[in-house]
């Protein structure tokens, strides 16, 4: 039987702060396939996330099909807006939500991974990171600062992580990010420069696939997932309408689930996908293929 086997492989999933989003579902799918999983969490959400885990509030979500439980080898603080701790403004470093986190930069994450697991500790890196502080604003209303913040965390952070973590990857390693159809189609209400950030992320995926493939022997892909009513996506303000509209107008008339995206991510991170790199893989019930609405909501 052909199966996804990630035994003896270690994954880092960056961007997990609860059990409702794609990041958690991907971490669970990787664990189901046998990988050990570390996660990186935005410092302001870190204490809440660890408290939920310690109190057993996520136990039902963590249950695996084979009877075990999704366990995290390590949980690291990460604010992907900063390459080094020195890049973070003093008011951020001194704030209540950050000062106990230690080095929460991308460089700090790499340093801690080496300290915990050695020089080449990783096989799989999942980039499930996005932030658009002005996502509810139209592009015409978006400030330069808001636009650049969206690009920084949602797109550039992938390039920064490949550069920093690439040398730490074992042979045949895989990077995978999450994008959205707004990169290529107009999605009214998905603003603040986030559509530009997703377009940049997909373009960078192709370039990084070439550069990291030649330099490190790594694969780099991205999944364009359909809309999901996660806690993080609620910041968009219209996420429920987006989910319903896409479901009604897709070839498969149903909303996408986080589990389906997790399964696709496990495949793309596995040796079964050894020939796939530089790709944007749509996991959206076929909505991306449609050129005309079927219904009006």
Q: What is the pLDDT of residue 67?
A: 87
Q: Please, is 107 exposed, middle or buried when counting C-beta atoms within 10 Å of its C-beta (0-12, 13-18, 19+)?
A: middle
165-174, 224-233, 245-254, 276-285: least confidently modelled range? 224-233
Give residue 294's pLDDT: 86
Return the pLDDT at 139: 97
CA dihedral (80, 86, 88, 92) positive or negative: positive
DSSP, residue by residue, 149-201: HHHIIIIIHHHHHHHHHGGGEEEEEEEEEEE-GGGTS--TT--TTHHHHHHHH
Whether residue 180 lies in the annotated active site = yes
pLDDT of 116 over the 70 cut = yes
pLDDT-derived band at 7 (thresholds 50, 70, 90) equals very high
Position 239 confidence tier, pLDDT thresholds 50, 70, 90 = confident
Which contiguous run of DSSP H or E holds residue 59? helix 59-62
User: What's the CA gap between 43 and 41, in Å, rounded?
Assistant: 6
Q: Contact 253/152 with Cβ under 8 angstroms?
A: no
pLDDT at 233: 62
DSSP label at residue 18: S
Average pLDDT, the chain: 94
Please tell me the predicted confidence (pLDDT) of residue 234.
66
Inform me whether the pLDDT recorded for 236 exceeds 80: no
Any catalytic annotation for residue 190? yes
Give the count of alpha carbons within 13 A of 214, CB side only. Answer: 5
Q: Which residues of 25-56 are buried (b: 16+ CB within 10 A; e: fewer)?
A: bbbbbbbbbbbbbbbbbbbebbeebeebbeee
Distance CA 6, CA 30 (A): 7
Q: Which residue among the candidates 180, 245, 282, 287 is catalytic per the annotation? A: 180
This prediction has a pTM of 0.95
Q: How far apart are CA 2 and CA 24, in angstroms?
A: 25
| Residue range 203-218, pLDDT digits in tens | 999 999 999 999 999 9
Cα separation, 58 vs 62, whole angstroms: 6
Structural domains of the chain ordered from first start: 10-286 (3.40.50.720)
Is the pLDDT at 297 greater than 70, yes or no?
Answer: no
Q: Are 61 and 217 in contact (CB under 8 A)?
A: no
Say how far residue 257 (Cα) sits from the centre of its chain: 15
Q: Which tens digit of pLDDT belongs to each residue from 29-73?
A: 999 999 999 999 999 999 999 999 999 999 999 999 888 999 999
Q: 128, 26 in Cβ contact below 8 A?
A: yes
Which of 82, 190, 245, 287 is an active site residue?
190
Indicate the pLDDT class of residue 243, thresholds 50, 70 and 90. Answer: confident
When pLDDT is cut at 50, 70 and 90, the band that residue 230 belongs to is low
């Amino acid at each position: 039987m052909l199966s996804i086997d990630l035994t003896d492989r270690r994954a880092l999933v960056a961007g997990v702060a609860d059990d409702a989003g794609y990041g958690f579902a991907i971490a669970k799918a990787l664990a189901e396939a046998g990988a050990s999983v570390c996660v990186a969490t935005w410092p302001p959400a870190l204490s809440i996330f660890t408290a939920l885990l310690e109190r057993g509030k996520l136990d039902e979500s963590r249950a695996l099909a084979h009877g075990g439980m999704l366990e995290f080898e390590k949980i690291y603080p990460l604010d992907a807006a900063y390459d080094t701790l020195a890049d973070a403004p003093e008011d951020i470093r001194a704030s209540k939500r950050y000062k106990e986190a230690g080095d929460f930069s991308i460089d700090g994450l790499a340093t801690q991974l080496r300290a915990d697991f050695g020089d080449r500790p990783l096989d799989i890196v999942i980039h499930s990171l996005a932030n658009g502080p002005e996502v509810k604003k139209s592009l015409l209303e978006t400030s330069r600062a808001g636009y650049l913040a969206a690009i920084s965390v949602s797109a550039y952070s992938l390039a920064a992580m490949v550069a920093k973590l690439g040398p730490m990857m074992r042979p045949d390693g895989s990077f995978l990010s999450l994008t959205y159809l707004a990169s290529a189609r107009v999605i009214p209400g998905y603003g603040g420069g986030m559509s530009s950030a997703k377009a940049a992320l997909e373009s960078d995926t192709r370039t990084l696939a070439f550069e990291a493939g030649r330099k490190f022997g790594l694969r780099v892909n991205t999944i364009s997932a359909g809309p999901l009513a996660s806690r993080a996506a609620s910041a968009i303000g219209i996420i429920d309408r987006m989910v319903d509209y896409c479901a009604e107008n897709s070839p498969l008339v149903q909303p996408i689930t986080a589990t389906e995206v997790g399964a696709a991510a496990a495949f793309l991170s596995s040796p079964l996908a050894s020939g796939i790199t530089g790709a944007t893989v749509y996991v959206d019930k076929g909505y991306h293929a449609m050129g005309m609405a079927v219904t009006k909501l």
